[in-house]
Amino acid sequence: MIKPEKYPGVSINKKGILHFGGADVVRLAEKFGTPLYVMDERIVRDNCKAFRKEFGARYEGKVLVVYATKALSSLAVLRIVADEGLGADASSVGEIHGALRAGFAADKIYFHGNFKKREDLEYALKNHIGRIVIDSREEAELLNSVARRAGKKAAVLLRITPGIEAHTHHMIQTGKIDTKFGVPLAGGEAFHMVKETLQKPHLNFMGFHCHIGSQILDMKPYRLTVEHAVEFMAKIKKQLGIAVREINLGGGFAVRYNSRQRLITKQQAATAIAGTLTSLLKKQGLPFPQLVIEPGRSIVAPAGITLYAVGPVKEIPGVRNYVSVDGGMSDNPRPALYGAEYEALIANRAAAPAGRKYRICGRHCENDILFDNIPLPAPRYGDILAVFTTGAYNYSMSSNYNRFPRPAIVMLSKGKPRLIVERETLDDLYDKDI
């Protein structure tokens, strides 16, 4: 059974209408059309504040919380996050561009990626981006030469892969050895890269980065990562005489996609990461580097829902019940890509008891299954279906497949809606065609 009260910002009024962020979502659907992404400003702000507070309280050095903009990089969202004092993690020049436009201080922007091209590095240096996270030996060479030409010294972190298997979908696991990202700790490869980086006159080695995966429900892999990281720092100190100035442990904190899930609180995450780091550094007698974390999903996913209009309902007795909605894999590709699960309600009859289970399908011309086994009160054409926790990796991974225009995004502030991204028009779809 879905328990709507488990989702932040969600309530059901006396008439059985679903409210989110203080707004009647059926009215939002009427006013702005469907499909519609709806975000709540308060939840975004609360999450930013909670990360800063909980990690700050458990670490003796400086903490910088950096928002992974890949989760959702609409300018309005970025402005809110910047206003909360976070930095920005960008994995492309496009994301850097958005972060700069939204007002993030350039020195709080982190540039990631396994293949940053020469022009990307030039762009980053020209725009005084705070950290470039080097992913490979080739990149270290290239950045050193780009920085030499620009007459600069680039502040860098080295991305390492600690060889940790986090229990998450295999496609979004990045800390283990078998990954395209980073330089393995194992076999001394990362250590060797640190030495090489220190010898490059135009690179300023600040420390290292690792990101072990996404939607991680268990803190053990984080604790293990911290252990590996501190061992690595101790080795660098002992053998090279260098104190690591910064350690960036990435993001990956899980959010609620179903009512049964047991979630890790931000306090628990901070205890596992900042707390473990504090005690291990003390044990080793190492100075406290700046601690950076990069949450993306856990800042925006719970702050978003998607509204769809229900279309035809097809019941195949003894087989399955299908419901079509007016969106699909173009506005949420996660079920198709990762088998991701979500929970949903009929927003205009949210208090009605659920009956049968339905397979909710999108409009795309293939087996576009969005959400399966969703218990609903018998859906009717024209109902509004609300899907929870869609604030991350939905809009940012959306496409125009089948030439469907992307939905609008509405931001709620104290229950008042404002359009922050316009719905695409039919002409937008062909604007770049020559």
* Alpha helical stretches, state H, 33-104: 41-57, 75-83, 93-101
- The residue (of 136 and 214) whose beta carbon lies closer to ligand LLP is 214
> Can residue 263 be called a binding residue for ligand LLP (CB under 6 A)?
no
Instruction: Provide the β-strand partners of residue 19.
Output: 11, 24
| Residue 405 phi, psi (nearest 5) | -65, 145
Q: Which of residues 300-329 bind ligand LLP (CB under 6 A)?
A: none
CA distance 369 to 363: 9
Smallest gap from residue 147 Cβ to ligand LLP (A): 22
- The residue (of 23 and 270) whose beta carbon lies closer to ligand LLP is 270
Smallest gap from residue 427 Cβ to ligand LLP (A): 29
- The residue (of 55 and 253) whose beta carbon lies closer to ligand LLP is 253
Provide the mask over 29-68, with x wherever binding to ligand LLP is found by CB under 6 A and - wherever it is not: ---------------------------------------x
Q: Is the peptide bond before 375 cis (omega within 30 degrees of 0)?
A: no
CA distance 21 to 38: 9
Using CB under 6 A as the binding criterion, the count of chain residues that bind ligand LLP stands at 19
Chain centre distance of CA 117: 23
Q: Tell me the window of 137-145, 246-254, 345-353, 369-377 that interacts with ligand LLP (CB under 6 A).
A: 246-254
Contact assessment for residue 159 and residue 208, using Cβ atoms and an 8 Å cutoff: yes
Smallest gap from residue 298 Cβ to ligand LLP (A): 6
Q: Of 150, 172, 240, 286, which lies in the binding site for ligand LLP, with binding defined by CB under 6 A?
A: 172
- The residue (of 10 and 71) whose beta carbon lies closer to ligand LLP is 71
Helices (H) and strands (E) in the chain, counts: 13, 21
> Can residue 225 be called a binding residue for ligand LLP (CB under 6 A)?
no
Pairing status of strand 203-209 against strand 246-248: parallel
CA distance 204 to 86: 23
Smallest gap from residue 80 Cβ to ligand LLP (A): 17
Query: Would you report the helix, strand and coil content of the chain in percent, each value rounded to 5?
Result: 35, 25, 40
CA distance 343 to 340: 11
CA distance 385 to 396: 21
- The residue (of 4 and 333) whose beta carbon lies closer to ligand LLP is 333
> Can residue 334 be called a binding residue for ligand LLP (CB under 6 A)?
yes
Active site residue 365: yes
> Which listed residue (48, 210, 361, 365) is catalytic?
365
> Can residue 294 be called a binding residue for ligand LLP (CB under 6 A)?
yes
| Residue 337 phi, psi (nearest 5) | -80, -45
DSSP structural state of residue 173: B
Give the nearest residue (CB) to ligand LLP: 251
> Can residue 395 be called a binding residue for ligand LLP (CB under 6 A)?
no
- The residue (of 58 and 211) whose beta carbon lies closer to ligand LLP is 211
CA distance 197 to 207: 10
Q: Across the chain, which distance is largest between two alpha carbons, in Å? A: 72
DSSP structural state of residue 213: B
Place of tokens 């409210």: 19
For residue 298, give every residue at least 6 positions away whose Cβ sits within 8 Å of its Cβ, in sequence order, or none: 47, 51, 251, 253, 254, 255, 266
Q: Tell me the window of 189-197, 250-258, 358-366, 374-382 that interacts with ligand LLP (CB under 6 A).
A: 250-258
> Can residue 252 be called a binding residue for ligand LLP (CB under 6 A)?
yes
Smallest gap from residue 170 Cβ to ligand LLP (A): 12
- The residue (of 207 and 417) whose beta carbon lies closer to ligand LLP is 207
Q: Tell me the window of 93-101, 288-296, 355-363, 415-423 that interacts with ligand LLP (CB under 6 A).
A: 288-296
Smallest gap from residue 390 Cβ to ligand LLP (A): 11
CA distance 278 to 281: 5
CA distance 284 to 274: 15
Q: Tell me the window of 228-236, 270-278, 294-302, 407-415 that interacts with ligand LLP (CB under 6 A).
A: 294-302
CA distance 99 to 82: 8
CA distance 217 to 166: 9
Q: Tell me the window of 74-82, 147-155, 225-233, 293-301 that interacts with ligand LLP (CB under 6 A).
A: 293-301
Smallest gap from residue 297 Cβ to ligand LLP (A): 3
Q: Which of residues 73-102 bind ligand LLP (CB under 6 A)?
A: 89
> Can residue 295 be called a binding residue for ligand LLP (CB under 6 A)?
yes
- The residue (of 215 and 321) whose beta carbon lies closer to ligand LLP is 215
Residues binding ligand LLP (CB under 6 A): 68, 71, 89, 112, 172, 211, 214, 250-253, 294-298, 334, 338, 393
Active-site annotation, residues: 365
